């Protein structure tokens, strides 16, 4: 559990600085430069993510069960991950309606992923791991939307390529991850 918690702290600290310590962040960027700041945060975030995932695997093996979720939650999880993948791909696709509608689809994708996994898993490690990501989204998403409103940037006109990447890529990504990547990465089958 300590490895997972350390990883979560490093990952989330690197991602919450703008929302929780914006002034300090700006001072560091002014002092060290934007490129150095981005590199440092990226290294911190990547190290934290690797430690959190590795530590989560170790902590799941301990298996402190808080509750036993009903079996049907696994089916709900599988279905809810489809919109999560659509949101994920909308974040990186060319201009698209989904990104225009929600503003920060990557954050919402993480929130949907975390909430669905919390509902379907009842171990202490699950609550801490997925709950930490859900808490991050609960803080970062409103802060990001507030910055958007303050900047008053116009939304780009959605393009067909953006819609195609969002829908086609999201569905293909979901299928590939569920069938081929979930088990090697997590050690748990996506279905069953």
pLDDT tens-digit series, residues 54-95:
999 899 888 789 999 999 999 999 999 999 999 999 999 999
Is the pLDDT confidence value at 103 over 80? yes
CA dist., res. 105 & res. 89, Å (int): 8
Residue 9 confidence (pLDDT): 97
User: CB 16: neighbour CB atoms within 10 A?
Assistant: 16
38 with 97, same domain: the answer is no
51 with 142, same domain: the answer is no
106 with 188, same domain: the answer is yes
Section 151-155 average pLDDT: 89
8 with 46, same domain: the answer is yes
The total number of structural domains in the chain stands at: 2
CB-based burial label for 180 (10 Å; 0-12, 13-18, 19+): exposed
The chain-wide mean pLDDT, for the chain, equals 94
17 with 104, same domain: the answer is no
Range of the domain at 84: 65-192
Which tokens sit at 178? 């569920």
Is the pLDDT confidence value at 188 over 90? no
Provide the 8-state DSSP code for 65.
B
78 with 164, same domain: the answer is yes
3-state helix, strand, coil split of the chain in percent (to 5) is 80, 0, 15
pTM above 0.85, yes or no: yes
44 with 122, same domain: the answer is no
CB-based burial label for 80 (10 Å; 0-12, 13-18, 19+): middle
Q: Say whether 123 sits in a helix, a strand or coil.
A: strand
Determine the Cα angle at 88 with ends 18 and 138, to 5°: 40
């Amino acid at each position: 559990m300590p490895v997972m918690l350390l990883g979560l702290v490093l990952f989330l600290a690197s991602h919450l600085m703008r929302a929780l310590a914006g002034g300090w962040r700006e001072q560091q960027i002014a002092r060290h430069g934007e490129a150095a700041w981005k590199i440092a945060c990226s290294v911190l975030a990547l190290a934290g993510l690797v430690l959190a995932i590795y530590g989560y695997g170790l902590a799941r093996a301990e298996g402190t069960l808080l509750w036993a979720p009903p079996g049907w939650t696994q089916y709900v999880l599988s279905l809810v991950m489809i919109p999560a993948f659509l949101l994920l791909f909308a974040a990186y696709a060319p201009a698209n309606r989904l990104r225009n509608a929600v503003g920060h689809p990557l954050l919402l994708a993480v929130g949907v992923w975390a909430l669905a996994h919390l509902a379907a898993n009842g171990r202490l490690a699950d609550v801490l791991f997925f709950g930490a990501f859900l808490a991050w989204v609960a803080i970062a998403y409103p802060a990001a939307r507030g910055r958007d409103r303050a900047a008053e940037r116009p939304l780009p006109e959605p393009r067909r390529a953006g819609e195609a990447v969002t829908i086609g890529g999201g569905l293909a990504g979901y299928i590939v991850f569920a069938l081929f990547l979930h088990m090697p990465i997590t050690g748990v089958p996506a279905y069953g």
